[in-house]
């Protein structure tokens, strides 16, 4: 009986510990982050986390917010939408965070956004570009452009800069980002007079794309559009070159990872992708960010790191202007953001809580990302 009582007491103590969030400290402002720190798009989550960490450290070193220190609470969603929903529920209901930063992938932001909206907790996504994300409610914001703009600019670059008139598309049908970007590319490309001669599909996690590529090759496209994430994109490009498909291959910001270079190697020559910033930018704002990031993490910051940094600083700027950590006050201040100086460009939040900002085209040359051009909104 004594052992049973001890076991019950231990269980009750464990339940109490799990049901209680971090000890509330009146001198801290708790900010939640949900990121893909592991899983299929782990480099995205790790980069945005590092960028956000840097923003928190800079803010605290400068005196904090409203006389308090910022404390970041992080949850790994394992690159899974269902885990994203669980992570955000925990951050809000258990940890009582005042605002949330996340996610890169649109499918995971779409899973978390309704929960933030339900509890009136502002959410800022660094890089979810699907238009539906901010349509989940007036507490949902982003610091990146959206896919209609990205798809339009990618189509104009293919048509006007590369002279492409016949394109084929290979998209991830289980990914909201990929499906949306393919649609917006096609719409603009056809308006410009181009023709999409074929379309094939795959699912995230696939590794053999030869059947789809063989079918696309038979239609003789002048370029192939792959609006997916970096691992699958790199494998698709390698297998395309193996099949002697030499035409340009284009993608979106889902390609922006060092893993693309690591997996794709020299087969990436004659490929292009749209993204949010270039580390080659010579502005003092970008140079300072790159120097601080390299000093802190011993690596070059990619676009996701820059967006994580901007998302944190824009949120902290809103809290400072709001003079409050109440959800409605932070939301109103975020909505009023105008010309915020981010390293990914000046950010103005529009009526649909999206960021209006420029887009950058990167080419891949001999294993390096090379700045190609900037397109203004």
Which residue is it, tokens 């996690």?
205
CA pair distance 10, 82, nearest whole angstrom = 30
Q: What is the pLDDT of residues 306-342, one digit of tens each?
A: 999 999 999 999 999 999 999 999 999 999 999 999 9
| Closest residue by Cα to residue 261 from 242, 283, 234 | 234
161: number of Cβ within 10 Å: 12
Report pTM: 0.82
Answer with the residue of higher pLDDT: 8 or 237.
237
| Closest residue by Cα to residue 147 from 175, 185, 110 | 185
Q: What is the pLDDT of residues 102-122, one digit of tens each?
A: 999 999 999 999 999 999 999
Residue 18 has pLDDT above 70, yes or no: no
User: Phi and psi of 258, rounded to 5°?
Assistant: -65, -20
């Amino acid at each position: 009986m004594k052992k049973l009582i001890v076991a019950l007491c231990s269980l009750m103590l464990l339940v109490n510990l799990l049901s209680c969030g971090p000890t509330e400290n009146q001198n801290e402002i708790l900010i939640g982050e949900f990121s893909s720190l592991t899983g299929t798009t782990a480099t995205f989550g790790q980069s945005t986390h590092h960028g956000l960490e840097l923003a928190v450290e800079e803010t605290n070193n400068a005196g904090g917010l409203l006389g308090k220190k910022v404390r970041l609470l992080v949850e790994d969603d394992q690159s899974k939408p269902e885990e994203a929903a669980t992570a955000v529920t925990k951050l809000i209901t258990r940890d009582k965070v005042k605002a949330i930063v996340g996610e890169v992938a649109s499918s995971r932001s779409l899973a978390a956004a309704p929960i933030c909206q339900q509890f009136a907790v502002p959410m800022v996504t660094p890089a979810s570009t699907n238009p539906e994300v901010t349509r989940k409610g007036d507490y949902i914001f982003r610091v990146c452009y959206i896919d209609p703009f990205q798809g339009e600019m990618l189509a104009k670059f293919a048509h006007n800069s590369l002279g492409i008139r016949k394109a084929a598309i290979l998209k991830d049908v289980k990914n909201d980002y990929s499906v949306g970007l393919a649609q917006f590319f096609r719409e603009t490309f056809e308006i410009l007079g181009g023709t999409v001669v074929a379309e094939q599909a795959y699912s995230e996690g696939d590794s053999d794309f030869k059947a789809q590529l063989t079918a696309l090759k038979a239609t003789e496209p002048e370029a192939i559009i792959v609006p997916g994430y970096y691992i699958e994109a790199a494998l698709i490009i390698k297998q395309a070159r193996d099949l002697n498909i030499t035409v340009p291959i284009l993608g979106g910001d889902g390609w922006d990872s060092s893993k693309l270079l690591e997996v794709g190697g020299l087969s990436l020559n004659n490929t292009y992708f749209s993204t949010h910033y270039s580390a080659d930018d010579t502005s003092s704002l970008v140079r300072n960010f790159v120097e601080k990031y390299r000093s802190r993490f011993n690596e070059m910051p990619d676009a996701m790191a820059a967006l994580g940094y901007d998302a944190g600083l824009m949120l902290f700027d809103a809290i400072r202007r709001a003079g409050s950590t109440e959800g409605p006050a932070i939301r109103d201040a975020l909505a009023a953001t105008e010309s915020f100086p981010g390293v990914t460009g000046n950010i103005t939040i529009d009526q649909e809580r999206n960021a209006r900002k420029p887009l950058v085209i990167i080419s891949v040359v001999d294993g390096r990302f090379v700045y190609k051009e900037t397109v203004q909104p």
